[in-house]
């Protein structure tokens, strides 16, 4: 078996203390079971472990083999790592004898080591193979997908996942470019996009939105998030909290709507003869919305777009029984 070497790329965990504080690990809660659904390079997990009691448990998830290699170096008997998406949470926890947990943290998007390693193909700043898979053992690479996808679907992905207004022009340019030679490198794709995008916001590279769109599509990030939010909620014990850090509007919108759907319950017409005890009850309480401080952004500019939302699962109301009718 070949040992995986973990490159020494720096990663600065965004909202480190704030996210762990949001899980409320004080008192009896320090003895619970927790989930870090996006281990990354372990910043959040290590801090969580430092605050947990000896009989507590932390289960991490990640699709990236380099993240798994880092996780396996922790060596804490309270910690277990799962090489899979947090979208498999229900089954993965059940396989470990866990039905409910006391808190869940999701730190979405990609990590700095993934961006900075040109061999991963996530960034156009350094030339590298056009891969973009978080889990390189599964799925199709970005290069292979670009080689076969229709112009119509290319436009749809770039527009919907990248919120790119020049999606039509970019898709057309990609199809024209691959007819000349395969699109296999990050700089090659970035050049094609730059030629199709005539104007762009000041300070933003023309390829930014397209690379984001392709990465999200290749890794099924939004599909995983939708499934993962529902599975995470199902695993939360009453009183448990879920904190989610997102880095672009598509993710944050999904998280906001999901939490709102559980916290804001539509009430029936007050004129109807319904007892207060029979009214629909909220299932979650919104706790906080938070962004990085100016100091954190200055020290880590990549944290600028981060938004953390926190919600708590409410206890299930006790069923009431009426008298004989």
Residue ranges for the known binding site are 42-44, 62, 86, 107, 114
Annotated binding site for S-adenosyl-L-methionine: 42-44, 62, 86, 107, 114
Own/partner pairs for 81-87, CB < 8 Å, 24+ apart?
Answer: 81/39, 83/135, 85/61, 85/224, 85/228, 86/35, 86/37, 86/38, 86/61, 86/224, 86/228, 86/231, 86/232, 87/223, 87/224, 87/225, 87/227, 87/228, 87/231
d(CA 294, CA 297): 5
307-313 and 57-62 as β-strands: parallel, antiparallel, unpaired? unpaired
Helices (H), 163-277: 167-180, 186-196, 208-218, 221-235, 249-263
CA of 234: how far to CAs of 27, 90, 223, in Å? 24, 8, 17
Q: Note whether 175 and 166 are within 8 A (CB).
A: no
DSSP β-bridge partners for residue 84:
62
Cα angle for residues 169, 129, 37 (degrees, 5° grid)? 90
Residue in the block written with tokens 């953390």: 308
């Amino acid at each position: 078996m070949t040992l995986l070497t973990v490159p020494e790329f720096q990663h600065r965990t965004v909202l480190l203390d704030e996210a762990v504080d949001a899980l409320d690990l004080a008192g009896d809660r320090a003895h619970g079971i927790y989930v870090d659904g996006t281990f990354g390079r372990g910043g959040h997990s290590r801090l969580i472990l430092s605050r947990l009691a000896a009989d507590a448990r932390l289960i991490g998830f990640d699709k990236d083999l380099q993240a798994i290699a880092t996780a396996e170096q922790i060596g804490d008997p309270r910690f277990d790592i799962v090489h899979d998406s947090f979208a498999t949470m229900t089954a993965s926890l059940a396989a470990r004898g866990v039905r409910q947990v006391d808190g869940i943290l999701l730190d979405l998007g990609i990590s700095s080591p993934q961006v900075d390693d040109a061999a991963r193909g996530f960034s156009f700043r350094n030339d590298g193979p056009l891969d973009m898979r978080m889990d390189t053992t599964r799925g199709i690479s970005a290069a292979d997908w670009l080689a076969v996808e229709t112009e119509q679907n290319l436009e749809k992905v770039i527009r919907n996942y990248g919120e790119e207004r020049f999606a039509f022009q970019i898709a057309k340019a990609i199809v024209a470019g691959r007819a000349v030679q395969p699109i296999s490198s990050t700089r090659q794709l970035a050049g094609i996009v730059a030629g199709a995008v005539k104007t762009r916001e000041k300070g933003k590279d023309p390829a930014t939105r397209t690379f984001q769109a392709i990465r999200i599509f290749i890794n099924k990030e939004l599909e995983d998030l939708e499934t993962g939010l529902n599975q995470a909620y199902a695993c939360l014990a009453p009183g448990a909290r879920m904190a989610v850090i997102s880095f672009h509007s598509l993710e944050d919108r999904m998280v906001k709507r999901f939490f709102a759907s559980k916290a804001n319950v539509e009430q029936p017409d007050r004129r109807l003869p319904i007892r207060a005890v029979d009214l629909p009850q909220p299932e979650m309480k919104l706790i906080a919305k938070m962004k990085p401080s100016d100091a954190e952004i200055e020290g880590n500019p990549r944290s600028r777009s981060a938004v953390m939302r926190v919600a708590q699962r409410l206890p299930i109301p006790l069923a009431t029984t009426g008298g004989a009718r």
